[in-house]
Structure 1
Amino acid sequence: MWNLVRSWYQEKFSDPQAVTLAMILVVGFAVIYFYGQLITPLLVAIVLAYMLEWPVAQMANRGMPRVLAASLVLLTFVGAMALFCLVALPQIWNQGISLARELPEMFSWAQGQVLTLPQLYPEFISESQIHDLMQNLNGRLLAWGQQVLQVSLGSLIDLVALAVYAILVPLLVFFFLKDKRELLRGFSRFVPDNRELAKKVWAEMNGQIVNYIRGKAIEILIIGVTSYLTFLFMDLRYAALLGLVVGLSVLIPYIGATVVTIPVAMVGLFQWGWSPQFGYLLLAYGIIQALDGNVLVPLLFSEAVNLHPVAIIVSVLIFGGLWGFWGVFFAIPLATLVKAVVNAWPSTDLPAAAGEQG
């Protein structure tokens, strides 16, 4: 057994560059895992800097000083976010409060519909099964309500931290955009000299991360606005809130679209009942999701993220369980990183080479 482990170690870690790459990966994963909450502003700033790097680079390539380009792009982005907070956010907040107030009525209506099932289909379902189902559902809703209350109380405490982040994050983004090359050179001083393999993996991942973050931002905007306009045209209640939720659902591939279907369908069913209008809503929502998956995603991400859907779902579950929101957000780049490391990892294949020579 020990000889097997030793031969595997010699095969996979005989190259000093492989050791350097392994050390960088272990240190990076450990820092994010143990200190992720402390460096949240840094992570947010890095994501925003990746998203805003393209227009800054375009302006700099046309002769504009990088500090001026970074300032203009950042001011435009902050202005757009401020406009969103002043115009759209109050409407979304009010719709969220109205929906929360209406949830008990919606639940009572849904409960009444479910209680009629034993009368309509007595051969498939009984009253005792419905009673057990509703009792279990009531318990889950009560627990969920308590969690929401705890989160609401905790959010009051986090307002101070949010105010600090609102100042700290834009400053970090500005310096990341303005001093990108200097920061990268300074960071490279802490990496061992045998880093050619790490540079190869980083060169591949850097382009994919840029494409992924920028593509996700565009996808969220397009899907959110399209969903909002569709719901508004159909006169669906809480159109702004549901449009925002549908837009953010693209952060979680496959799973997000499935989960968000529930509130969209519930609001439509409560508003229109089992009517043609409800069918049109589901049809429109299905068309939006189909266009997103079959047109928008291939157009935005091209071949940069060439992963099987099973690998994407597994990566969302694993990295989301490790790092929460950031694990879910970076699930696809992290899965691509694992794939790139496996493909680039040197292998001596000593036993196979010896067998071929013999």
Structure 2
Amino acid sequence: MILDSGRWFWLVIAGIVVSLVYLLAPILTPFLTAALLAYLGDPLVDRLESWKLSRTLSVTAVFLSLFLFIVMFFLFLLPVLETQVKLFIGKVPAYLDWVVNVLAPYLQEHFHVDTSVLEVDKIKAVIAEHWQETGGIIRNAIHTISKSGFVVLGWVANLALIPIITFYLLRDWDRMVAYVDDLLPRSSAPLVARLARESDDVLGAFLRGQLMVMLSLAVIYSLGLSLVGLEFALLIGLIAGVVSFVPYLGLIVGVAIAGSAVLFQTQDVFDLFWVLAVFGVAQMIEGTLLTPLLVGERIGLHPVAVIFSVLAGGQLFGFFGILLALPVAAVLAVLLRYIHDTYKQSHIYSINAVDDALKGQE
């Protein structure tokens, strides 16, 4: 009886899938990570195939390029970021002294603000006590992991599984898509295929396009701020680039942090102009070139929905939930749009339903 009803059949399937994901979340992280990497790399593989290369050779080229980029990031960029973080934390006491000596009298005189409530001396003491422990990102991570042998084995196993699974998923991606399409009930296959294409457009635009925009903005911010002479140009540029998936958030955060940093460093208000110029040029490049070229006219995911989905996924499933959040949000956005359009075209929404109800009362 259940199988005769398409609605109940899909509800049962959805319930089973959600239950399995919840129960198996701790071991699914490397599989989902590999699936996202394969999803990002599949268009490049298809492009290479269009150049008359075999699928295996195309997958090998994309696979090696993808993981070479990841390895280069961890080998070169992380140590530089760690150095900048340690340098920044080490200079925080000097920044606090500048606030006390320069800003405090101004705030007290013009706004009657009592800055003693900030307890700057206690903040400096805490930072001076713990800044060395905070700076060693890689060392502390290894130390934390090494406290448990089972945790070490789990991390090693996951890291070893990710490239293996990614390679096989990349190689068989088109075959798996065709297999899933063949399993769909023929009556609903056109609708599911259309919704899947729309979900792919939304998710692809965000993951591929927006990630490229974020990376490009991080590079532009970092280069521009380094030309200004800011000490923490790379750190601030990366922070502003990462949060730029929310429109104007990267601009606001970047200007606030870079503006404060350049004031602390040079104590010259005129240098704020150069910081504003860097972010203004970056926003102009993003609006006229990066977003139209890499993302398209619209992503389809509202920034608030993205933030909520990432936070909700992390709360429910931990790191696995963070990875799962964006694909689920993309699919839900398409489904909600389809439900909205179906409702607007239904008899319930139409004015005829109101007329029929009034006639029935008469």
Q: Does 1:105 align with 2:80?
A: no
Separation in structure 1 between the aligned mates of residue 256 and residue 14 of structure 2, nearest angstrom: 39
Matches within 5 A, 1:70-219: 70-121=59-110, 124-127=111-114, 130-134=115-119, 138=123, 153=140, 156-158=143-145, 160=152, 161-184=154-177, 195-196=188-189, 197-219=191-213
Amino acid at match of 2:311: G
Aligned partners of 2:23, 2:248: CA distance in 1, in Å? 29
| 1:279 paired residue number | 273
Q: Which moved more, 1:214-223 or 1:289-298?
A: 289-298
How far residue 26 of structure 1 moved from its aligned partner, in angstroms, is 5.4
SS at match of 1:229: helix
- Aligned residues of 2:313 and 2:325 also touching (Cα < 8 A): no
| Match in the other structure for 1:299 | 293
Counterpart of 2:149 in structure 1 is none
Amino acid in structure 2 at the alignment position of 1:180: W
Encode CA deviations 1:202-240: one digit per residue, 9 max, x unaligned. 121123322322112321321122122112212210222
What secondary structure is seen at the aligned counterpart in 2 of 1:237? Answer: coil
Q: Which residue in the other structure is 1:5 paired with?
A: none
Question: Which residue of 1 is the match for residue 56 of structure 2?
Answer: 67
- Seen in structure 2, the aligned counterparts of structure 1 residues 318 and 52 have a Cα distance that, compared at 3 Å, is closer
Q: Which residue of 1 aligns with 2:231?
A: 237
Distance verdict in 2 for CA 1:354–1:258, change over 3 Å: closer
1:56–1:73 Cα contact (<8 Å) kept:
yes
> C-alpha separation between the residues in 1 aligned to 2:223 and 2:85?
18
2-structure distance, mates of 1:264, 1:33: 42
Question: Secondary structure, in 3 states, of the residue corresponding to 2:53?
Answer: coil
Match of 1:11 in 2: none
For 1:41, give the aligned amino acid.
Answer: P
Q: Distance in 1 between matches of 2:24 and 2:99?
A: 44
Query: Residues of 2 paired with 1:32 and 1:254: CA distance?
Result: 35
SS of 1:242's equivalent in the other structure is helix
1:246 partnered with 2:235: no
CA distance in 2, matches of 1:316, 1:133: 31
The aligned residue for residue 220 of structure 1 is: 214
Q: Say if 2:245 and 2:303, in contact at 8 Å, map to a contact too.
A: no
Q: Which amino acid aligns with 1:175?
A: Y
**Does the 8 A contact of 1:316 with 1:332 survive in 2?**
no
**Residue 316 (1) aligns with residue 311 (2):** no
- The structural deviation recorded for 1:50 is 1.7
Deviation string 1:89-143 (CA, Å, 9 cap, x unpaired) is 332222222222222222332243332134430xx3232xx333457x959x88x
AA partner of residue 43 (structure 2): W
Task: Identify the residue that residue 288 of structure 1 maps to in structure 2.
Answer: 282
Q: Which runs of 5+ in 1 are unaligned?
A: 1-14
Instruction: Answer whether contact 1:21 1:198 (CA < 8 A) is retained.
Output: no
Query: Scaled by the length of structure 1, what TM-score is found?
Result: 0.75
- Using the TM superposition, give the Cα deviation of residue 71 of structure 1 relative to its aligned residue in structure 2, in angstroms: 0.6
Q: TM-score with structure 2 length normalisation?
A: 0.74
CA distance in 2, matches of 1:270, 1:27: 56
- Find the aligned partners of 2:254 and 2:225 in 1 and give their Cα distance: 14
C-alpha contact (below 8 Å) 2:310/2:322 kept by paired residues = yes
How far did residue 35 of structure 1 move?
Answer: 5.0
User: What is the distance in 1 between the residues matched to 2:305 and 2:325?
Assistant: 9
What is the aligned partner in structure 2 of residue 268 from structure 1? 262
Which amino acid counterpart does residue 157 of structure 1 have in structure 2?
A: T
Q: How many residues align?
A: 334
In 2 relative to 1, CA 84–96 (structure 1 residues): closer, same or farther, beyond 3 Å?
same
Does the residue aligned with 1:39 lie in a helix, a strand or coil?
helix
Distance 2:135 2:79 in 1: 21
- Rounded Cα–Cα distance in structure 2 between residues aligned with 1:318 and 1:290: 29
Over 3 Å counting, the alpha-carbon distance change for 1:189 and 1:138 in structure 2 is: farther
| Equivalences for residues 315-354 of structure 1 within 5 A | 315-323=306-314, 334-345=328-339, 349=347
Instruction: Return the structure number with greater relative CO, CA threshold 8 A, min gap 6.
Output: 1
Amino acid at match of 1:113: V
Report the alpha carbon displacement of residue 62 of structure 1 after superposing the two structures with TM.
2.8
Q: Deviations over 1:256-298 (max 9, x none)?
A: 5433444323321211124312331133124323533564223
